[in-house]
Every structure is written in C-alpha cells, then in structure tokens.
Chains A and B, each alone.
Chain A
C-alpha cells in the first residue's frame, strides 16, 4: 500500500504578530525606541558640528527651538525606556555571583542607573561645573 501524502501548511507570521501578546509588544517598543536614540544622536552631532564651525548662536538657537525641546523630551523618555529595559536584560544575561548569592536583574538595573547618573555627573562636572 502506498502512503498517501498530504500538503503541509506552515502558517506565516502576519505583520501584526507582535500585538498578540504583552511581551511581544514590550519587545517591539524596546526595539523601536532605539530609533529615537539614533535620531537624537544624529541631531546632536549636527548641533555639535554647528558649534565646532564657530556658529555658537546657531547651536543655541537650535537647542532653544520649541521643536527641539519637544523632540528632546520625547527622545529622553524613549531613551530612558530603552536604557531601563536593556539594563534589566543585562542583569538577566550576566548576573554577578558573589559567594553563594547571584544578583537579581533589578539589582543590575539599579546599579547601572546609579552608575549612569554618576558618569553623567562626572562628565557635566568636567565640562561645565569645574
């Protein structure tokens, strides 16, 4: 008796696959926020190029413009979301082991955020406050 074969169906992912579950949405938001990190970097590099070519007033005007302030605010929120999610993942992937206790992801998140604040303050102190 010959075996009867049936066509097999491999269902394709639809473009809205990530809406089916909360974790997928969080993942998608995390990935999309990187776009704002990149955009902000580009705008900032442009601003710095203005400053480097001597047009200090153009740089300040760029920073003062309402559009730039609004954009910076949005970029800040998204960058923070991006940083928080990745710091948390860092704690999940490379937990620190001290003696018999292993660090929890939220501890890595807090430690990295504190480190970020310290480094940011040091940079501001070096460039501005000193």
Chain B
C-alpha cells in the first residue's frame, strides 16, 4: 500500500470530494506529487509501512498556488519548460533522406540522466529559491535545458544561453541541493545548474579573450 492507495480509499469510502492528480501508479507519469509528511514525494512511491503507527499529513506541493485539495496550478512550470526550447535545434536542418544525426554511447551518456525527468515538479517544491522568487527558472527546466546543451546533435547553444543566463536563470541558484535529493528519477538538477553556470562563465571569458569567435 502506498499513500496514493490511501487517497483512493478516502475518495472511494470517506469523502468523494477529495481532489488530487494521479495516473500511472508506477512513478512514470509524474502527476501524483504531494508533500508527504513534510517532504515532496510521489504519492505512488511513498509506502505506508514507512509511516506505520503514525498519523501523517499529505499536503499540496509547496511553492505552487493551490487550486483544490492536492491539485496545484502548474502553469508557471509549463511556461518555463517551453521557454528553454526543449527540442533539438539545428543551424540547418537536413532532410530525413540524408539519414539520422548520429551519436556515440559516450555522447549519449553526457546528458542521459537529465532526460529522465518526468516533470513531477517535486524539485520546485523542495527549492526555497523558487519559494522566495517564482521568477526563478528552477531545477527541472534548467536540467532539461542542460540536457539539450550537452546533446551532441544540438546546435542551439546561442539560443538557449541567453535564456538560462538571464537574471532569474541559473545564477539565482545558491546551491541548496534539495532538488536532487527529492528527485524520484535520480536526475541531478543541482549538477545541471552548476554545469550550466560553468559553461556560461567559460563562454563569457572566451568571448572576452577571443572576441573574434574562438571556439
């Protein structure tokens, strides 16, 4: 039994008006996140035996506006996801007949973990920076941006860099690191944000030292 089963039991037997999101029941869809006993978790992955003999609070995800019960408004996050342009950008598209853009296993490894994000928003709930300033681009969106920046097939660095390095981009992060602790898919958004900072800083330095486009 998991917390989601308990919520379903409550809805079926005790209070039919209880409202919450869920779909897959197996930690893939990312829709059942809630603050379980004070920590952002997927309710389908929080086993009740962990809380045996105790009363626990299940609350809506912190840092998001509440619509009803456990349902929060995720508009802000959705806007940020689109903002970082989560697709492969090419300087010049080649027609499909010319074959796929190839990639080695090592090149895949560079970004693979960051592509496992399921958009459950637990990291945003765990991030006090986002709690204080909702304009902050935040963990998941930056991890996704970094996923494309590190993708060998992508050529959109110049498009994405201004987005992730603007005032409320990666530099807002002060390395609390809780985003990576709560991630249910083993993604390390904290790492992605710091790597993006490093890339941005070296890029800026390079443009000062080699203004004529050193690569």
Contacts and interface: CB of A to CB of B under 8 A. Distances in A.
A12 to B, nearest CB: 8
Main secondary structure of the interface of B (DSSP, over half): mixed
Interface string A1-30: 000001011111100011011011001000
A18 B181 CA distance: 15
A81 to B, nearest CB: 15
B30 interface: no
A9 B65 contact: yes
Contact of A17 (B67, B128, B198): B128
B38 A8 contact: no
Contact of A13 (B38, B39, B128, B191): B128
Given A10-B64, A13-B128, A17-B128, A93 B194 contact: yes
Interface stretch (B47-55, B111-119, B161-169, B171-179): B171-179
Nearest to A8: B65
Nearest to B180: A92
Contacts of A31: 174
B23 interface: no
Contacts of A18: 128
A92 B177 CA distance: 10
Given A17-B128, A17-B131, A94-B198, A10 B65 contact: yes
B132 interface: yes
A90 B134 CA distance: 27
A6 B67 CA distance: 7
Interface string B22-64: 0000000000000000110000000000000000000000111
Given A8-B73, A10-B63, A13-B128, 15 more contacts: A10-B64, A10-B134, A11-B63, A13-B132, A18-B128, A20-B38, A21-B178, A23-B181, A24-B128, A27-B177, A27-B178, A92-B190, A92-B191, A93-B191, A94-B198
